[in-house]
């Protein structure tokens, strides 16, 4: 699974991670392998994913990599390379600037790396700070390979899509299900973990639950707030898919996901035969 949040134990509902009965049926990799006080990065995930994919192939099996996020999916499939740690003091400086004056941080990034400023979500504090770090270090770690289509192994890349109104309705249903399954108490527990890292708290819902406890929003507002953020994430994921012209498309419409299996298997047989 190419999902940074599904790696964390304690976020099963929020990340919609595979449930125990699912992990008993099919081996999963990169899922529920971190505690909330452990660091996470795309570079670390890439190393884990590459090892898992290579091992599965060596055993004559077929690895299936699913997203997740576009960056983690590419990290699993390609040799992207990642920037070295920034010089001492750069990370606190970047994070401090983003926290104190986000607009100044955005200007700084535009001056140092206009291309990064174009592709990074400048409204995301974590991504903005990370982009500043890389700009100061002057090394994108091979990030130019992000969109070049390269793969470590022959790969069938499939993009499963739905019409936007259908996707929005499914998002609303998922948010209601998560709230019914205990999303709020799960995130309350996560927020209270001693030494909890910044990375898991970027998950949709953590910010809203924290704001609710500060009295800034009412619990009745949660469903729409969470749905709105998830819709925004889905739009970004669709943008990633559009950057991959070689991806084969499956348009599900309103059908259940399982109905795509025959078409997917036929794609796989055709690609394998070629």
- The torsion angles phi and psi of 5, rounded to 5 degrees, stand at -85, -25
Q: What are the start and end residues of each CATH 3.40.50.300 domain in the chain?
A: 12-82+147-273
Alpha helices in the chain (DSSP H): 12-15, 20-25, 42-58, 70-77, 90-100, 102-112, 114-119, 125-137, 164-180, 183-191, 206-213, 222-242, 261-273
Average pLDDT over residues 52-77: 93
In the CATH hierarchy, which top-level class contains the domain 12-82+147-273?
A: alpha beta
Number of Cβ within a 10 Å radius of residue 89:
9
Ranges 75-84, 119-128, 156-165, most confident: 156-165
- Paired with 161 in beta bridges are 251
* d(C-alpha 65, C-alpha 88), whole Å: 35
pLDDT at site 106:
92
Q: How confident is the model at residue 139 (pLDDT cuts 50, 70, 90)?
A: low
Task: Write out pLDDT tens, residues 42-53.
Answer: 889 999 999 999
The first and second tokens of residue 65, run together, are 């990599």
Task: Write out pLDDT tens, residues 234-244.
Answer: 988 888 888 78
């Amino acid at each position: 699974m190419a999902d940074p949040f599904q790696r964390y134990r304690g976020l099963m509902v929020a990340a919609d991670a595979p449930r125990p009965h699912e992990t008993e049926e099919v081996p999963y990799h990169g899922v529920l392998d971190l505690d909330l006080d452990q660091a996470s990065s795309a570079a670390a995930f890439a190393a884990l994913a590459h090892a898992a994919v290579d091992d599965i192939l060596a055993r004559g099996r077929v690895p299936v990599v699913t997203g997740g996020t576009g960056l983690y999916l590419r990290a699993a499939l390609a040799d992207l390379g990642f920037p070295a740690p920034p010089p001492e003091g750069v990370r606190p400086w970047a994070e401090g600037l983003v926290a104190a004056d986000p607009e100044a941080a955005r200007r700084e990034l535009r001056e140092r790396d206009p291309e990064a400023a174009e592709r990074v979500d400048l409204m995301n504090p974590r991504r903005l700070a990370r982009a500043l770090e890389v700009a100061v270090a002057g090394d994108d770690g091979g990030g130019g390979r992000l969109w070049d289509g390269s793969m470590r192994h022959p790969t069938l890349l499939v993009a499963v899509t739905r019409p936007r109104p259908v996707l929005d309705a499914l998002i609303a249903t998922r948010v209601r299900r998560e709230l019914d399954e205990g999303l709020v108490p799960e995130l309350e527990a996560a927020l209270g973990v001693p030494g909890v890292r910044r990375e898991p708290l970027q998950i949709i819902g953590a910010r809203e639950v924290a704001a609710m406890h500060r009295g800034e929003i009412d619990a009745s507002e949660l469903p729409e707030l969470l749905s709105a953020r998830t819709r925004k994430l889905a739009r970004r994921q669709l943008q990633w898919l559009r950057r991959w012209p070689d991806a084969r498309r499956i348009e599900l419409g309103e059908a259940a996901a399982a109905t795509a299996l025959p078409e997917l298997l036929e794609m796989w047989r055709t690609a394998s035969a070629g």
